[in-house]
Amino acid sequence: MVVPGFVFGLVLPLILAAGTNADVGFRFASYINNYMVLQKEPAGAVIWGYGISGATVTVTLYQQQEAIMKKVTSVKARSHSWMVVLDPMKPGGPYKVMAQQTFRRKNITLRVHDVLFGDVWLCSGQSNMQMTVSQVFNATKELANTAAYQSVRIFSVSLIQAEQELEDLAQVDLQWAKPTSENLGHGIFTYMSAVCWLFGRYLYDTLQYPIGLISSSWAGTPIEAWSSGRSLRACGVLTRGLIQSDFVTGPSKYSVLWNAMIHPLHNMTLKGVIWYQGESNVNFNRDLYNCTFPALIEDWRQTFHRGSQGQTERFFPFGFVQLSSYLSATSDDTFPQIRWHQTADFGYVPNARMPSTFMAVAMDLCDRKSPFGSIHPRDKQTVAYRLHLGARAVAYGEKLIFQGPLPENMELLADKGLLNLTYSLEIQVQRQHNIFEISCCSDHQCKWLPAPLDTVSAQSLALNVRSCRGTLAALRYAWATWPCEYKQCPLYHPGSALPAPPFMAFLTDLRPGAHRRLAE
């Protein structure tokens, strides 16, 4: 069963994807349309659709009027679907794709034009991914900045739920299109995703070839709605009942968005995924997020690899935004816990449980005056910029700094009452407020105390831990829902202006003079 959500804008029936000369029996998949971007070499792009069982389908790729590639297949009996994998293509275009069905001497032809080859990225998550360009800082300027980016094509999935996995999209909000001020800022939390668009724009500035962006996100949704039953069961999540949380304002059933808004795309050849979600799990299955998030990544990777006939890389790059700040009436540490769990409790990515991933730290991009609430900060440009640095390093193999300084080594100098931290990169300390904390334990009770900065050098710092009169149990940094004001956290890398991410380390077995390596 398919349950329509709040669908904004023009909803296109599936038949439109095939063109006006198609009949109901023969059509392209919903997202194969004019202006689309297909994945470039070294992968082969997948073209597929539906037809009459047993019919022959010939797919031809044209450049201008010349046929440069032809693939022949047949329509499967049970699924009534057909599929071809194109030979790997260099980036560029435009091309035309023609599909012809032959059955009992009757031919039906479908055509799509202005097709480009480049890199295709899927963007998903909840409201911070769903925010449109009209909602971000400098929106008027950003909406007007499209002329140079006509090879960055955009597509937006409708808000739909389904009880079972769908093979194709039931509805589309925005068919493949060239960017305009209208379709980038169509409305509030509708389309097109600002983070997705800005990320693609930064990539285009670097790569200088076509980028395809697919937005599939829904505000107020927990990770369980975007996860298959397989990945949830792997984490011991019971998949019956409704999801109850103050932060869940969207669909509250397990897997319904995976079924309707992600699985229908699984035959597509992708370059990678970016993700911005987590707020809705602050009060729901929070302690399982360090499993459910890596499990989602693994399951999406397996599914897209298989669905694309092995063309989407098995461990395709997966980027995400670590949660930003939020003005909360309580001072609990639920937001910091989600930030930590987003890294599978390593504090950094890539790591052993999350290979080929990259992260944009956003805890310093707070927005007290956001008209959409502080949980929706408007500086999506910096988010996208930090994400694209991670993509350039992890997805494209560039040698560049893409994440802030990480603590690599720790030494306790008990006689001086100091805890030394050595960082992976050069550090710049711009404010020395009490953002480091130590857990001090005595009489079977522990409490968190400030650990002020004592001395700072180019790549290390010393913390004053003399306030602890018991056992030093743990150290944490930026462990707060609102750790600092806008771009004013204490630690950054001076060259890239990337913030040091939050972290926690347990110290109970750290003896005076001993060293411990924190990041491998």
pLDDT band at 23 (very low <50, low <70, confident <90, very high): very low
Percentage of the residues of the chain whose pLDDT score is greater than 70: 92
Q: How far apart are CA 27 and CA 310, in angstroms?
A: 23
What pLDDT is recorded for position 432? 65
The tokens of 14 are what? 């599936």
Dist. CA 67–CA 100, nearest whole Å: 14
| CB 491, CB 349: distance < 8 Å | no
- pTM, two decimals, is 0.93
What does the DSSP assignment read for 145-192? TTGGGTTEEEEEE--EEESS--SS-S-EEEEEE---HHHHSSSTTSSS
Instruction: Let me know if 148 is exposed, middle or buried by CB neighbors in 10 A (0-12, 13-18, 19+).
Output: exposed
**Strand runs (DSSP E) across 357-482, as ranges?**
357-360, 407-413, 418-423, 428-429, 436-442, 445-450, 453-456, 460-464, 471-477
Q: Is the pLDDT of residue 123 over 70?
A: yes
Amino acid at 277: Q
Span 403-408, mean pLDDT?
Answer: 94
CB atoms within 10 A of CB 370: 17
Average pLDDT, the chain: 91
CA of residue 187 relative to chain centroid, distance: 21
Could you tell me the pLDDT band of residue 5, with boundaries at 50, 70 and 90? Answer: very low
Q: How far apart are CA 245 and CA 356, in angstroms?
A: 31
Tell me the Ramachandran region of residue 112: left when phi exceeds 0, alpha when psi lies from -120 to 50, beta otherwise: beta
Q: Each residue of 304-331: pLDDT tens digit?
A: 999 999 999 999 999 999 999 999 877 7
Task: Give the up-direction half-sphere exposure of residue 10: CA atoms within 13 A in the CB hemisphere.
Answer: 11
β-strand pairing of 2-4 with 160-162: antiparallel
Once rounded to an integer, what is the mean pLDDT over residues 354-375? 96
